[in-house]
């Protein structure tokens, strides 16, 4: 590598040789001095292993970049797995929500049917109660009419008997009625 570099420097110095008036290998020639200084500088760089240090720094940086890339790849894979997990959970939650909606619709339909049946039963009970009340009111009205008819008949019979009977007969009937009440009460 050093030989290639020296050869390239000599080739680069050829135009300088043509421009100089004196011999090239003289310390009076500034191009030669510059060439020597440059070669010394390059030699010092190699002696202190600067290219190796630069290479080591570049390798270290490349390793850091490689580890950063590997870490980024791992983070990406982890993010993808988390995303897949969340997508699965979202699908599961959506499926559960759909099941809940279907169950709620089914329950609502069943509740509506039950409410209709309960309403029919309630109407039937109320109709039955109303019919019973009507029948009871009818029976009560018939009883009242009969009672009133009996009262009117008794009153009319009492008037007729009172007109036809005398005081002695009335006293006898009262005594008979009191005796009959006493026998029935005891």
| pLDDT tens string 27-37 | 888 998 999 99
Give the pLDDT confidence of 117-158 residue by residue, as tens digits: 999 999 999 999 989 999 888 888 888 887 777 777 667 766
In angstroms, rounded to a whole number, what is the distance separating the alpha carbons of residues 25 and 37?
13
Residue 38: the pLDDT is: 95
Closest CA relative to residue 2, chosen from 38, 51, 42? 42
Neighbour count for residue 94 (Cβ, 10 Å) = 10
Contacts of 6 (CB under 8 A, 6+ apart): 39
How far out from the chain centre does Cα 101 lie? 12
Task: Using alpha carbons only, give the angle 55, 60, 63 rounded to the nearest 5 degrees.
Answer: 125
DSSP state of 26: S
Mark the ranges of the chain whose per-residue pLDDT is less than 70: 1-22, 153-154, 157-158, 160-162, 164-167, 186
Question: What are the extents of the domains in the chain?
Answer: 2-85
The number of angstroms, rounded, from the C-alpha of 154 to the middle of its chain's C-alpha atoms is 84
- pTM for the structure as a whole: 0.39
Q: What is the pLDDT of residue 151?
A: 74
Contact between residue 83 and residue 39 where contact means Cβ atoms under 8 Å apart: no
């Amino acid at each position: 590598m050093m030989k290639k570099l020296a050869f390239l420097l000599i080739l680069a110095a050829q135009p300088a040789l043509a421009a100089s008036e004196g011999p090239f290998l003289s310390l009076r020639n500034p191009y030669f001095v510059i060439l020597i200084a440059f070669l010394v500088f390059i030699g010092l760089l190699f002696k202190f292993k600067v290219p190796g240090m630069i290479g080591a720094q570049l390798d270290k940086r490349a390793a850091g970049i490689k580890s950063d890339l590997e870490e980024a790849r791992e983070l990406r894979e982890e993010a993808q797995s988390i995303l897949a997990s969340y997508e699965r959970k979202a699908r599961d939650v959506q499926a559960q929500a759909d099941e809940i909606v279907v169950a709620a619709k089914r329950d609502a339909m069943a509740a509506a049917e039950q409410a209709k049946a309960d309403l029919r039963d309630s109407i039937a009970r109320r109709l039955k109660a109303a019919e019973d009340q009507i029948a009871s009111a009818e029976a009560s009205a018939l009883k009242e009419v009969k009672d009133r008819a009996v009262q009117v008949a008794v009153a009319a019979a009492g008037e007729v008997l009172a007109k036809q009977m005398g005081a002695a007969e009335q006293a006898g009937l009262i005594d008979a009625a009191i005796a009959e009440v006493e026998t029935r009460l005891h």
